[in-house]
Chains A and B, each alone.
Chain A
Amino acid sequence: MIPPEFDYVAPTTLQEAIAVLEQKPDAKILAGGHSLIPLLKFRLASVNTLVDINRIDGLSYIREEGGWLKIGAMTREADLEHDPLIGQKYPLLADAARTIADPLVRNMATVGGNLAHADPANDHPAVMLAYGAVIVAAGPNGLREIPITQFFTDLFTTALAPNEILSEIRIPAHKAGNGGCYQKLERKVGDYATAAVAVQIHIGANGVCDTAGIGLTNVGPTPIKAAAAEQTLVGSKLDDAAIKRAAQLAADAAQPQSDYRGTEEYKRALVKTLTVRALRKALERARN
């Protein structure tokens, strides 16, 4: 399949890229290209100018700084997957990176692209909801921080303005007592989730949960923050009753539709089961 015609530019600085976006409102960013190029090939998207940001230096990094884990937008999934810091301290992120697509796709696909694309089937959105991440957007007037809860506005739609580029993702830095887990059911490697659940918790010295984040993948038009489920966990010791209560509330928050991956009923039941598993694993990790 051959994509429709377009112009292509490859700026080497963020400022230059933003200037192109300002001049050409129909332009689109090209990051890993592994959502955009398939869409262009299927002619489900068209674009007059592709702005390739792969040649801008300094957009690919993973580092802890000032109480945050900072991830450059152009960091590839494969880099997350193999990063020792992520492996040790950010198991939710490590779990998710391993389940995204396949190893070949992960060599190209970027974390920024995964979020900017805002496909409710993508895995990072729910993960970032669970972490309570902050998105950094670079625009003509400099940098702007967008809390993740305000980032996904609709199906394939984000709070980014047409002249903004997602430049960094910030996750609260790991501290003792944190635990996380991503549980995804996929039919085979390379498939999107039938449903998936992201969990990030913090257990205080007294064994009581003081923070909980739960995000749901591919069970609604946008990624879903299961707020009621989160609230029921805070103040509990994550005993079985609390875990089951949260799982039911997460299933209630899901808005799945029946499709070739399963019926609405099945997906809701799946969210419940995956939430239980993710919470148990997160708790185990928080205690270690």
Chain B
Amino acid sequence: MSTHKITVTVNGQLRQAEVPARLLLVHFIRETLGLTGTHIGCDTTSCGACTVLLNGRAVKSCTVLAVQANGSEITTVEGLAQNGKLHPIQEGFHMEHGLQCGFCTPGMMLSAIALLKQNPYPTEDDIRWGLSGNLCRCTGYVNIVRAVQYAAEKLRIEN
């Protein structure tokens, strides 16, 4: 099996590693880089717990090879808070009780950020549609929608 030297920018930091061709991006993030905020739920491209931003697009990192990400920018949940200040989406999940066990939350937040970048004025339907690749077993989604609405409002004020 071939191995490859890859360079990626993860949460603004340049990271280099030698990876086997079959290493999945989610394993690279969790095990090679030790960033365990990106979760593995289904491992079968269904649940979205492993969602990260790859060059700004939300993708399921259990279904991308680490070597495919060579040269890319990756954002994980660890990259959201800046200087100890929560990102508006994190604040939204906190304020609106958008989580219970929290397992789906990192993926939900990254999908929501990608959605809000594309559509700063989402309707409730837009939000449900935008998050339809992320499953939550606890909340029933109502408060997740509110959390995203909270973040949308806050981001509109900030920008």
Chain A residue nearest to B63 (CB atoms) is A37
| Contact B57 A34, beta carbon cutoff 8 Å | no
Chain A residue nearest to B133 (CB atoms) is A102
Q: Which of B4, B20, B44, B60 contacts A104 (CB 8 A)?
A: B60
Q: Which residues of A contact B22 (CB under 8 A)?
A: 2-6, 40
| Contact A34 B130, beta carbon cutoff 8 Å | no
CB of B111 closer than 8 Å to a CB of A: yes
Interface size on A, residues (CB 8 A): 31
CB of A208 closer than 8 Å to a CB of B: no
Proximity string of chain A (32-59) to chain B, C-beta cutoff 8 Å, 1 when within and 0 when not? 0110011011000000001010100000
Given contacts A41-B43, A105-B60, A108-B63, contact A52 B111 (CB under 8 A): no
CB of A189 closer than 8 Å to a CB of B: yes
| Contact B133 A103, beta carbon cutoff 8 Å | yes
Q: Which residues of B contact A189 (CB under 8 A)?
A: 132-133
A189 to B57, CA, bound (A): 19
Proximity string of chain B (33-60) to chain A, C-beta cutoff 8 Å, 1 when within and 0 when not? 0000000000111101001000001111
How many interface residues does chain B have, given as a range? 20 to 34
Q: Which of A91-107 contact B (CB under 8 A)?
A: 101-105, 107
CB of B149 closer than 8 Å to a CB of A: no
- CB B59 to nearest CB in A, in angstroms, measures 5
Q: Which of B65, B68, B130 contacts A103 (CB 8 A)?
A: B130
Interface of B is mostly: mixed
Given contacts A4-B22, A103-B111, A108-B59, contact A54 B130 (CB under 8 A): no
A189 to B128, CA, bound (A): 11
Q: Which residues of B contact A103 (CB under 8 A)?
A: 58, 111, 115, 129-130, 132-133
A40 to B57, CA, bound (A): 24
Q: Which of B68-125 contact A (CB under 8 A)?
A: 68, 70, 111, 115, 118
CB of A190 closer than 8 Å to a CB of B: yes
Given contacts A2-B22, A104-B48, contact A33 B63 (CB under 8 A): yes
- CB A53 to nearest CB in B, in angstroms, measures 11
Chain A residue nearest to B50 (CB atoms) is A104
Given contacts A2-B24, A6-B22, A104-B111, contact A37 B64 (CB under 8 A): yes
CB of B138 closer than 8 Å to a CB of A: no
| Contact B1 A6, beta carbon cutoff 8 Å | yes
| Contact A54 B68, beta carbon cutoff 8 Å | yes
Q: Which residues of B contact A190 (CB under 8 A)?
A: 46, 132-133
Chain A residue nearest to B51 (CB atoms) is A104
A residues touching B (Cβ–Cβ < 8 Å)?
1-10, 30, 33-34, 37-38, 40-41, 50, 52, 54, 78, 82, 101-105, 107-108, 189-190
